[in-house]
């Protein structure tokens, strides 16, 4: 049973409820096999809910993210996260870093993708011809 400090009020946030239930069932390891299967499913559905929520945030950025695909396709998820690093907007870049950590996208890959964008596509660095002029 949940402790009194973990009890939720009516109308509680579903994500908080899922977190508390997951925390509670994970703290005990001798569940019957039938319940262990249900607990495993709870973890899977919790991950899917988190993915879906993250995808909705991305969709809100107006970057053309396919929410269903982000929730289910690991390659698309990684490419989307790396694509988000190709920005000059600090908040979008911070979101990409947060997502990279959450979904285990190597940070060196995130940083390199961002640097490549800065040097090639961002328009923030001088072109080769103007750089030659500076060096001469």
| Average pLDDT over every residue of 49-73 | 80
Among 60-69, 98-107, 114-123, which range has the highest average pLDDT?
A: 98-107
User: Is the separation of the CB atoms in 84 and 99 below 8 Å?
Assistant: yes
Residue 103 in this model has a pLDDT that exceeds 50: yes
Quote the domain boundaries for residue 87.
Answer: 73-125
User: Is the separation of the CB atoms in 125 and 119 below 8 Å?
Assistant: yes
Same domain, 113 and 81: yes
Of 99 and 132, which is predicted with more confidence? 99
Last residue of a domain, one of 45, 65, 85: 65
Instruction: Find all residues with CB under 8 Å of 49, minimum gap 6, and list them.
Output: 15, 18
What pLDDT does 30 receive? 83
Same domain, 118 and 85: yes
């Amino acid at each position: 049973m949940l402790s009194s400090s973990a009890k939720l009020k009516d109308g509680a946030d579903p994500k908080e409820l899922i977190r508390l239930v997951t925390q509670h069932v994970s703290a005990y390891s001798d569940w019957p096999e039938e319940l262990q299967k249900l607990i495993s499913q709870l973890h899977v559905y919790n991950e899917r809910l988190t993915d879906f929520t993250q995808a909705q945030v991305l969709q809100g950025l107006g970057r053309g993210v396919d929410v269903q695909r982000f929730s289910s396709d690991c390659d698309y998820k990684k490419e989307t996260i790396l694509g988000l690093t190709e920005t000059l907007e600090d908040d979008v870049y911070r979101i990409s870093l947060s997502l990279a950590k959450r979904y285990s996208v190597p940070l060196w890959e995130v940083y390199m993708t961002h640097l490549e964008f800065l040097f090639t596509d961002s328009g923030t660095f001088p072109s080769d011809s103007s750089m030659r002029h500076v060096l001469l």
